[in-house]
Structure 1
Amino acid sequence: MTGGSGVVVIDNGGGLLKAGFGGDQDPIAVVPNCMAKPPGGNTKKWLVADQLQADDVDVTGMTLKRPIDRGYLINTEVQREVWERVVRNLLKVDPNNSSLLLVEPMFNPPALQHATDELVFEEFGFKSLCVADAPSLVHLYEASRQPTLFRAQCSLVVDCGFSFTHASPVLQNFTLNYGVRRMDLGGKALTNYLKELVSYRSLNVMDETLLIDDAKEKLCFVSLDVPGDLRLARLSFKDNPFRCSYILPDGITYKKGFVKDMDDALRYCSLPLNEESDRKDHGLETNKFEDRKKPELSQNEFVLTNERFLVPEMLFHPIDLGINQAGLAECIVRAVQACHPYLQPVLFESIILTGGSTLFPRFAERLERELRPLVPDDYQVKITRQENPILGVWRGGSILASSPDFESMCVTKSEYEEMGSARCRRRFFH
């Protein structure tokens, strides 16, 4: 069984793989793009993709193998296992009768393009392939939803992905490669930083990537006033407004990690911003520092306080954490300044946020505050976060795959066999 168009669309992310059929609104599969093995003897089998999401699977201490490292496909063996599971078991398609639209990282080196083509045509036998990049698909999807928003068919796509963060100018569905600027920070770096902070303060969780990922997604938020929030975080352990416990699986009663009290987690995020009197009403006086004995934690939980906003802070001010890179606002300004002056005001008022890290509460507000002083006064700054930043790229791919001229954009298996990877790839250049 295949989707209406017979085109398989795969957004092959470093963290999550999204797969489905061209023309559909949503993908059929949104699964971890990895394999994992439970701790213990060699008899334990590797779990692949959706098998890691099963209710009865405890991910504690699992060994991970990812096909993608630093944004690029470097392990085709693992990728084959993941695609095999997704294409044959979840999508239930025969690749010989299907075309593939694959979202590939920008500036993918030729050797990795060649390895990808081998996987698509020789291992799986897809009948044709079209390669697209994420920014152009995000622009295509948003422009199809709200065409008036993007005058001059122009936008700046800010993609905070798993491996990287890119600021990419797009003009008439083409990514302007010369204007793309990259930060070597993404969701993976944020998770690793949270692992280090928790391991230093309470439990050793350096091997708990999947659990810390979950804690990060549920508990972290972007601060609009870092010095003020740091002062609040110095309150006594009990009165700290950021204090939340995350419970690790015990393998018996519960197999998944979870937030102990979600109301506590949301308590601070619902407070008015920068209103000293309101904070006092909530019992959050900034001058109350007490040295109470910290309550004992059980062996299977850890507490987060200021880590909740210090982790996303990496994206805005990496230099504060010893990472010698420009922050997100500066990255965006550099991308815009690389473009023609006529495009610059249009790009600043057509910023689209996509990627999982843009889901942190207050992300867009903070970015606007950081950007405004760096942008000329007579330019507007308008930031739109995608309705679903995790699925936005895939949805753009679905629109492209169901367009009338999609077939003419593809390289067929016979063309690949006749001309080889390098010559076929020229079709995807622009």
Structure 2
Amino acid sequence: MASVVVLDNGGGLCKAGFGGDRDPVAVVPNCVARPSSSASSSSKKWLVADQLQSPDADLTSMSVRRPFDRGYLINPDLQKEVWDRVLRSSLRVDPARSPLSLLLVEPLFNPPSVQRATDEVVFEEMGFRSLCVADSPSLVHLYEASRRRKGNAQCSLVVDCGFSFTHAAPVLHNFTLNYGVRRLDLGGKALTNYLKELVSYRSINVMDETLLLDRAKEDLCFVSLDVPRDLNLARRSGKDNPFKCTYVLPDGVTHTKGYVKDIDEAKRFLSLLPDGTSNGTTSVVKEVPDEAERREDRKRVDLSKNEFTLTNERFLVPEMIFQPADLGMNQAGLAECIVRAVHSCHPHLHPVLFESIVLTGGSTLFPRFAERLEMELRPLISDDYQVKITTQEDPIKGVWRGGSLLASSPDFESMCITKAEYEEMGSARCRRRFFH
């Protein structure tokens, strides 16, 4: 059997590797970027995918171009540029010269026009030998079912908090029940944009710092278990405010990446008790003397023009997913989205689905995400039903791992469409094999 490239092609990150491996070879930004200032943009090249992760890459004021917009592929040429870079630089393969199959993870409800454009890139421009298309909920279910040694592993409710959308998708026997999928038009991109707006309004203008604020969001945001209480605590001044922390932006000279100025300060919220007082304990990371010294140096650096302070922004940003209506959005929150997805299925599946909720996607990595979701779900469902929420061990790689498992199965080749079939029948007829 030919080697299989597994490509989880997300709007924010592209995960690529080979079927049968546990982890992808590359997890890179699915975009290209270069400095947006007119003086330097003419002389500097666009950085593609992994080049943005280089230690010396300065991400300040980058102009970003993405192949995806609002969850769907809109620029196949740009996508091909990213894929070329990933295949040749990270995976070190060339589909045009060696017989490679591709397992591609596509968004749910991908329009036919996007499917045709994708197939053209895969077969005509890149030269893959065969193609299999899958969606993320079915692959997450496949991977989690393979890990469950006992219990009901036939169905699950996959909650995928992705870059553009959040989906609640029922999966039965490795097939996503499309009629039951419910979507929340919020994802990691919207959260980053909201953080940019809050910081720009309250502190310094960071509207052009998408990549830097994306990192700040991942480092500092968390989910509140009691929003009114935390809003009151966030009004305190100085050290009495358990959420106050400082994020330092790159200066382009001593450091090219943003960082949290005082990690211990940023983690104080973890020691909060339900009444708002602190138990005085936070998890302290043991460090060798050199590392501790470097951290102390960072705290002392005076970069007042290059840093900003966060307080309630840290939990107001993820709050969008749970209570979008509070922020003026005409959207149901995540808990209601899940309930609607379950209730669209046969009543016999309801108790099993509520007991088999699986969280995947980068936004589920916010501290206390699962705990808050259970708090929101419990009042909305019958007392007869149990609620069990599982967060994948690595929500970023979970979909890819399911794809790797599928690509190494004995039946994989029979699930693919070949280049010869594509040339004979065209994209639309071939795609019927994937039930899309």
Q: TM-score range by the shorter chain?
A: over 0.9
What pairs up with 1:10-409 in 2 under 5 angstroms? Answer: 10-39=7-36, 40-96=40-96, 97-149=99-151, 151=152, 153-272=154-273, 274-276=274-276, 278-279=277-278, 298-409=304-415
Judging changes above 3 Å, is the alpha-carbon distance between structure 1 residues 17 and 281 closer, same or farther for their aligned structure 2 residues? closer
Aligned residues: 411
Residue by residue, what CA displacement relative to the aligned partner does 1:134-189 show, whole Å, maximum 9, x if unpaired?
Answer: 0000000000011424x160100000000000000000000000000000000000
Output the amino acid matched with 2:52: L
CA distance in 2, matches of 1:236, 1:89: 50
Tell me the SS of whatever aligns to 2:304: coil
Output the amino acid matched with 1:121: F
Shift of 1:49: 0.2
Shift of 1:201: 0.5
Q: Which runs of no fewer than 5 residues in structure 2 stay unpaired?
A: 282-301
Judging changes above 3 Å, is the alpha-carbon distance between structure 1 residues 280 and 33 closer, same or farther for their aligned structure 2 residues? closer
Tell me the SS of whatever aligns to 2:308: strand
CA distance in 2, matches of 1:114, 1:167: 26
CA distance in 2, matches of 1:20, 1:99: 12
Residue 5 of structure 2 aligns with which residue? 8
Shift of 1:41: 3.7
Output the amino acid matched with 2:29: P
Output the amino acid matched with 2:12: G
Length-normalised TM-score, structure 1: 0.93
Output the amino acid matched with 1:17: C
Residue by residue, what CA displacement relative to the aligned partner does 1:343-387 show, whole Å, maximum 9, x if unpaired?
Answer: 010000000000000000000000000000001000000000000
**Which stretch shows the higher mean deviation, 162-171 or 237-246?**
237-246
Paired residues of 1:5 and 1:23 also in contact (CA < 8 A): no
Shift of 1:279: 3.5
Paired residues of 1:246 and 1:303 also in contact (CA < 8 A): yes
Length-normalised TM-score, structure 2: 0.92
CA distance in 2, matches of 1:62, 1:29: 22
Shift of 1:271: 2.6
CA distance in 2, matches of 1:195, 1:89: 32
Residue by residue, what CA displacement relative to the aligned partner does 1:220-249 show, whole Å, maximum 9, x if unpaired?
Answer: 000000000000001014421101111000
Residue by residue, what CA displacement relative to the aligned partner does 1:402-421 show, whole Å, maximum 9, x if unpaired?
Answer: 00000000000010001100
CA distance in 1, matches of 2:165, 2:356: 21
Paired residues of 1:5 and 1:21 also in contact (CA < 8 A): no
**Which stretch shows the higher mean deviation, 309-318 or 87-96?**
87-96
Paired residues of 1:5 and 1:402 also in contact (CA < 8 A): no
Judging changes above 3 Å, is the alpha-carbon distance between structure 1 residues 281 and 212 closer, same or farther for their aligned structure 2 residues? closer
Output the amino acid matched with 1:84: D
CA distance in 1, matches of 2:432, 2:343: 28
Shift of 1:36: 0.3
| Identity %, equivalent residues | 75
Q: Which runs of no fewer than 5 residues in structure 1 stay unpaired?
A: 283-295
Residue by residue, what CA displacement relative to the aligned partner does 1:317-337 show, whole Å, maximum 9, x if unpaired?
Answer: 000000110000000000000
Tell me the SS of whatever aligns to 2:384: coil
